[in-house]
Structures are given as structure tokens and as C-alpha cells.
């Protein structure tokens, strides 16, 4: 046992310790008593400091208390029901189930309907939660298609259909599920959802999109990637996250009512976990109300996104293939990315390095995410810091 703990200690020493935030997470945040420009959180719409959410929390806690419980026992509160109904309407879906996290939602979405004799086809750059969900399902036949490569996806579907000709031990045909991120979190590129839908119809397979970084960002009023492509009702399983643009906690799945009812009766991540607290749920209900009312925050986010991308491009930074607010400043070398981030921190700009294993070796970058809470002056402050460090480290000429 001493050797075991020694090994752990050696690995911990090599690991990364996160910065501790001492303030609210708006356009700026405080670390070690110093105000820093917040250039790397996923609070796309600035709702983490929104006064309406704060008020909704206070009123709900005063009225209902704090804790809930298991949804299947005494933990389903009317606020949970309201949240699920509002999210379903917002997403233009038949029904919705809310869980305690996006990670849990992905695990529930896949492992509840896919067994070891079924088949999963997954984009090679899908999020870790999708990878773990597939592992949890125990599925033995998995196909990985090249990132965004529709031709390769079709080839994998054809292979899967051939495998599926052999019935499962219960005599039923294996289910085939094609699963992808909607927005890929490291590069900010989009899944080819229209082509995936076309292939699914052609070959008769299930589809799932994890839209963690599309909720509150893409589509009309932030309704996500399915709305962005006007494909309502054509994706079987749509997973969303409530901790990014919504700035609270939780995850959800939308789809046909019969599917969501099945999840509520069978998903272990739902059955054996506590429900969201009263405070979380009240804040989320208010967040959905805000997005239902108008798209001002979404428009501000995209104005800021266009401004920062254009500014970086004019300076000579490589921002990769992003078409979303996720703006990677590509640096390739991991040590350079770490040094760049450290020097930005000295300039009071908080933007973390993204290195292996989060991205492939040789693909290191600083991932910048503007938000609706940033003013033009805030963005200019960050851009000037990037320019200064870029010239110091000879990233810029």
C-alpha cells in the first residue's frame, strides 16, 4: 500500500492544479486577490451573474427550502416538471428529462438503450463523456469514423448494417446508433448534422447529438444545432448541458415522448441520483424564460465572437477552423502554450492552455471564449495582451 500511495504522489506532482476563483464569474474574476479578464469560461451568455437568476433562487429557496431527493421517490418537485416542460418547448421537442449533469445525460442517453450486442458509430473527436457512455453500455461492436467525414461515416454504417444481419441472442436485430458532438469543444467546428440525418434515413439507424456547446449559442434564440439546421424532430436523441450557456448545473435529453418516458423509467443515472436542488432548478427556469423572451444576449455573444475572431486574424494569429464562439489560438508546441498562458496571466488575462491529452500532440492552443458579458473595452484589453505576448514569444512577426 505504501508503494501504491507513492505512485499516486508521483503522478499528482506531475498533474495540474486549477486556479481558485474568489469572485463571481462574469467578464472578470478574481484569483489570488487580483482581478483577471475571464477569457476561458463557458458562461457564453453571462448568466452566471444575472440578477434575475439570483432573485429567482432567493425567492424559491425562501418558499421551498434547498434539498430535493430521488426523482422516483419524493424528489420530483413541481419546479423540475416546469423546467422539463419549458426546455421541451424551447427545443421544439416532444418531451425532456433533466439530470444532474451533461456527463450523466450522455451516459443515460446511450447506456439505457444500447446493450452489448448493439452497435455504436462515433466521431473520432467526440467528448470524453460520450466515450465513457459507450464503454458503460458494454457494447462490443464499435465503429469510429474520421472527424466530420460523411463518406467515412457512410462506409461505417454499411459495415454496421452487415454486422446487424446477425440477430442478437433474443432474436431481435441489433440497434445501430450514430453519435456525435454538435459543436466540438476544442476546435469550435460543427458536426455535419444534415448529412448525418440523410444517412440515418437512408439506412434506418438512430441518431444522437450532444449539443453541450450549442445550447444558448446556435439557432434562433440559442435553441441549439438542430434549430440551426432546422431539423426539429429528425434527430432521435438530443443532449444538452445546463452549466455552460445556462450557467447553472445539470444536463438534459430531448426527444420523442415515448423515448423520454423510457429514460425516466429505466435510466440508472436518473433513478439512482438526487434531483437538482431547488436553487439550481429555479435558476434554470428563469434562464429559459430569459431566452424565450428575446435573443439580445445571443446576439451580443455573436457580436463579440465576430469582433475577437477578426481582431486575432488581423494580428496574424491562427484560430483554426472554428465557426463558433470557441476561438482556439493555435500554437502547436505544448511548452509554448503553457508559457503563453502564464504570461497572459501576468497581464491579468485568464486564458488556459489546452494540451495533450485534451488535444492531439502538436495541436496545443490557448482556447479563448468570449461571452455576452464582455464589453468592447474588455475584448480590446484581452486582444492587446495577446498581441503583446505574441510578439514577445515570436508567435507574431
CATH number for the domain spanning 33: value is: 3.90.1150.10
Of 91, 213, 228, 264, the catalytic one is 213
Of 41, 95, 185, 243, the catalytic one is 185
Of 91, 244, 309, 374, the catalytic one is 244
Query: Which single residue is written with the C-alpha cell 425562501?
Result: 62
Query: Which single residue is written with the C-alpha cell 434575475?
Result: 52
Residues 9 and 116 in one domain: no
Return the DSSP state at 27. Answer: S
Tally of domains within the chain: 2
Q: How far apart are CA 179 and CA 235, in angstroms?
A: 10
Of the chain, the percentage scoring pLDDT greater than 70 comes to 100
Question: 376-392 and 296-315 helices cross at what angle (nearest 10)?
Answer: 20
Residues 302 and 283 in one domain: no
Q: Which of 271, 293, 315 delimits the end of a domain?
A: 293
Q: Answer whether residue 349 is part of any domain.
A: yes
Q: Answer whether residue 397 is part of any domain.
A: no
Residues 17 and 68 in one domain: no
pLDDT tens, residue by residue, 240-268: 999 999 999 999 999 999 999 999 999 99
* Residue whose C-alpha is closest to residue 215's, from 298, 296, 132: 298
Q: Is 185 known to be catalytic?
A: yes
Q: How far apart are CA 188 and CA 308, in angstroms?
A: 14
Q: Which of 293, 320, 354 delimits the end of a domain?
A: 293
pLDDT tens, residue by residue, 280-290: 999 999 999 99
Q: Answer whether residue 357 is part of any domain.
A: yes
pLDDT of 126 > 90? The answer is yes
Q: Which three cell numbers stand for residue 332?
A: 502547436
pLDDT tens, residue by residue, 338-367: 999 999 999 999 999 999 888 888 999 999
Mean pLDDT of all residues belonging to the chain: 96
Q: Answer whether residue 387 is part of any domain.
A: yes
Q: Which of 252, 272, 293 delimits the end of a domain?
A: 293
Residues 284 and 337 in one domain: no
Q: What is the DSSP string of 289-347?
A: HHHHH--HHHHHHHHHHHHHHHHHHHHT---TT--SS-EEEEEE-HHHHHHHHHHHHHT
The structure's pTM equals 0.94
Q: CB of 211 within 8 A of CB of 242? A: no
Q: Answer whether residue 253 is part of any domain.
A: yes
Q: Which domain holds residue 267?
A: 51-293
Q: Answer whether residue 44 is part of any domain.
A: no
Q: CB of 264 within 8 A of CB of 270? A: yes
Query: Which single residue is written with the C-alpha cell 435510466?
Result: 267
Q: What is the mean pLDDT of residues 115-126?
A: 97
Q: Is 247 known to be catalytic?
A: no
Amino acid at each position: 500500500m505504501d508503494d501504491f500511495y507513492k505512485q499516486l504522489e508521483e503522478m499528482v506532482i506531475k498533474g495540474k492544479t486549477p486556479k481558485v476563483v474568489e469572485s463571481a464569474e462574469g467578464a472578470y474574476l478574481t484569483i489570488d486577490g487580483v482581478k483577471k479578464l475571464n477569457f476561458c469560461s463557458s458562461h457564453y451568455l453571462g448568466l452566471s451573474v444575472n440578477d434575475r437568476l439570483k432573485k429567482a433562487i432567493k425567492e424559491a429557496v425562501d418558499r421551498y427550502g434547498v434539498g430535493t431527493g430521488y426523482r422516483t421517490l419524493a424528489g420530483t418537485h413541481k419546479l423540475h416538471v416546469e423546467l422539463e416542460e419549458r426546455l421541451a418547448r424551447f427545443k421544439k421537442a416532444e418531451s425532456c428529462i433533466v439530470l444532474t449533469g451533461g456527463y450523466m445525460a450522455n451516459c443515460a442517453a446511450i447506456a439505457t438503450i444500447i446493450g452489448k450486442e448493439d452497435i455504436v458509430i462515433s466521431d473520432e473527436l467526440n467528448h470524453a463523456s460520450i466515450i465513457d457512455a459507450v464503454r458503460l453500455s458494454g457494447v462490443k461492436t464499435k465503429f469510429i469514423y474520421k472527424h466530420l467525414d460523411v463518406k467515412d461515416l457512410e462506409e461505417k454504417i454499411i459495415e454496421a448494417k452487415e454486422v446487424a444481419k446477425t440477430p442478437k441472442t433474443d432474436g431481435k436485430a441489433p440497434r445501430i446508433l450514430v453519435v456525435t458532438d454538435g459543436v466540438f469543444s476544442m476546435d469550435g467546428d460543427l458536426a455535419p448534422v444534415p448529412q448525418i440525418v440523410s444517412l440515418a434515413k437512408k439506412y434506418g439507424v438512430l441518431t444522437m447529438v450532444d449539443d453541450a456547446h450549442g445550447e444558448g449559442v446556435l439557432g434562433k434564440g440559442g435553441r441549439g444545432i438542430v434549430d440551426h439546421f432546422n431539423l426539429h424532430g429528425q434527430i432521435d436523441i438530443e443532449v444538452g448541458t445546463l452549466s455552460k450557456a445556462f450557467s447553472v448545473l445539470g444536463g438534459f435529453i430531448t426527444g420523442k415522448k415515448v423515448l423520454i418516458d423510457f429514460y425516466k423509467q429505466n435510466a440508472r443515472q436518473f433513478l439512482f441520483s438526487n434531483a437538482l436542488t431547488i436553487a439550481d432548478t429555479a435558476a434554470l427556469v428563469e434562464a429559459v424564460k430569459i431566452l424565450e423572451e428575446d435573443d439580445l444576449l445571443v446576439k451580443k455573444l455573436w457580436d463579440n465572437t465576430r469582433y475577437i475572431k477578426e481582431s486575432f486574424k488581423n494580428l496574424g494569429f491562427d484560430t483554426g477552423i472554428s465557426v463558433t464562439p470557441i476561438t482556439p489560438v493555435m500554437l502547436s508546441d505544448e511548452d509554448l502554450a503553457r508559457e503563453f498562458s502564464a504570461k497572459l496571466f501576468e497581464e491579468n488575462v485568464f486564458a488556459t492552455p489546452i494540451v495533450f491529452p485534451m488535444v492531439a500532440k502538436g495541436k496545443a492552443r490557448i482556447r479563448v471564449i468570449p461571452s455576452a458579458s464582455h464589453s468592447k473595452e474588455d475584448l480590446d484589453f484581452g486582444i492587446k495582451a495577446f498581441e503583446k505576448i505574441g510578439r514577445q514569444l515570436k508567435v507574431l512577426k
